């Protein structure tokens, strides 16, 4: 386990999956603590796909490959490349195991850094192959709701900085369809209720919002989640679970009508040989 801290935050990270294990502000735990009754994870890192593949497979240059939901990074052990008291860089590189399911050479890095009461998470992909590589990447952090004892799930709400209507793309056994359902907000506010997620995640493609706040009117503790340059976003919780996942995605689950071709996958990122790709999300705790 890796620990980083400053005078406000203390954070721990597991080298397996480069997964956050704890985010505490002044002794209050903000990150979901992986209770198997609901969901046994904290904050998986998603790479080289986000979500589900149609029939669990894709095609590349005439060959068929299989990948499980959200890809293999969350199950691989990363190596610590560099660290300070307030930051750490974890690295995953292609090997024989990854090549069997993903025929590309790459370096994938996750950097966590503390700045005052904020945690920054940066994803870095480097193409070490001689050809273009194709990938998706994203985050899946789960935050406790409620954050303090004595409050209820329904005491909390999400506030979007730029949207008054959420266009929700409906999921069908993990795949996206073309059917949508609008969620009307009240002054950019979505009151939390666990029934929101009875039909799986709220999948969003058309947000103009780039900041979402988790707040309650009954306590000062909350968070602001920032996610510039992530074109897709998911909001999810397991059924009746006391947490909420705020998921910034550069990529998305396959569409029901996808043709299996990796190059044609919605949201796929192409990175030419020798190039580097970066995206950062952050969470500011209060």
**What proportion of the chain, given as a percentage, has pLDDT over 70?**
100
Q: What is the mean pLDDT of residues 99-128?
A: 98
Q: How far is CA 250 from the centre of its chain?
A: 9
DSSP-assigned states of every residue in 52-98: PPGGGEEEETTEEEE--TT-SGGGSBPEEEEE-SSEEEEEEE--HHH
Asked if the bond preceding 146 is cis, omega within 30° of 0, the reply is yes
Q: How far apart are the first and last CA of the chain?
A: 25
- pLDDT, greater one: 26 or 2: 2
| pLDDT (tens digit per residue) in 39-94 | 999 999 999 999 999 999 999 999 999 999 999 999 999 999 999 999 999 999 99
Return the pLDDT at 208.
96
Predicted TM-score (pTM) above 0.85:
yes
Q: What does the alpha-carbon distance between residue 56 and residue 162 come to, in Å, rounded to a whole number?
A: 35
What average pLDDT is seen over the chain?
98
In the predicted structure, residue 121 carries a pLDDT above the cut 90? yes
Residue 206 has a pLDDT of 86
Distances from the Cα of 64 to the Cα of 103, 132, 220, 246, 260, angstroms: 11, 18, 51, 32, 9
Span 169-174, mean pLDDT? Answer: 97
Taking residues 235-263, what's their average pLDDT? 98
Contacts of 160 (CB under 8 A, 6+ apart): 166, 185, 188, 189, 190, 207, 209, 211, 212
Domains, in order of start, for the chain: 2-277 (2.70.98.10)
């Amino acid at each position: 386990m890796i620990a980083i801290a400053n005078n406000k935050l203390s954070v721990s990270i597991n080298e397996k999956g480069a997964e956050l294990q704890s985010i505490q502000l002044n002794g209050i735990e903000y990150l979901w603590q992986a209770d198997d009754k609901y969901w046994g994870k904290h904050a998986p890192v998603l790479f080289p796909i986000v979500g589900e593949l149609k029939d669990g497979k894709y095609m590349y240059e005439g060959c068929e490959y299989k990948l499980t939901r959200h890809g293999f990074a969350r199950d691989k052990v990363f190596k610590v490349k560099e660290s300070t008291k307030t930051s750490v860089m974890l690295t995953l590189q292609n090997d024989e195991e990854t090549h069997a399911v993903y025929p590309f050479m790459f370096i994938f890095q996750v950097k966590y850094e503390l700045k005052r009461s904020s945690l920054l998470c940066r994803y870095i992909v480097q193409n070490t192959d001689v050809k273009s590589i194709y990938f998706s990447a994203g985050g899946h952090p789960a935050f406790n709701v409620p954050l303090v004892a004595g409050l209820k799930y329904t005491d909390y709400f999400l506030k979007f900085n730029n949207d008054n209507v959420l266009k929700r793309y409906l999921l069908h056994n993990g795949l996206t369809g073309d059917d949508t359902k609008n969620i009307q907000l009240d002054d950019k506010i979505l009151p939390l209720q666990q029934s929101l997620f009875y039909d799986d995640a709220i999948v969003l493609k058309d947000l103009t919002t780039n900041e979402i706040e988790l707040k309650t009117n009954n306590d000062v503790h909350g968070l602001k989640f920032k996610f510039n340059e992530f074109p897709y976003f998911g909001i999810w919780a397991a059924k009746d679970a006391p947490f909420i996942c705020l998921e910034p995605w550069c990529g998305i689950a396959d569409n029901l009508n996808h043709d299996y071709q990796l190059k044609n996958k919605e949201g796929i990122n192409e990175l030419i040989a020798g190039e580097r790709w970066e995206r950062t999300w952050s969470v500011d705790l209060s």
